[in-house]
Amino acid sequence: MKVQVLGTGCPKCKKLTANAERAVENAGMEAEVVKIDKLPEIMEFGVMTTPALAIDGEVKVSGKVASVEEIEAILAGA
């Protein structure tokens, strides 16, 4: 599984990355957390507001910092 954090490097993007890493760790899953920070790549996801979170290329959250608990719930449903 690939967890993708989309954002240009702002504090909110960094917080979402940390939350995603913690959620993966808490869930005990084997997943790779990848930071996507280049604008053309972010736009390929159709995201207009960052930060955003995608699981295996599918955007699940956009425009806010999802909590660790929210990300855990998303991962459980993936």
Kindly list the catalytic residues: 10, 13
Between strands 52-55 and 2-6, the pairing is: antiparallel
Q: Is the bond preceding residue 11 a cis peptide, omega within 30 degrees?
A: no
- Helix extents (H) in 1-78: 11-27, 39-44, 68-77
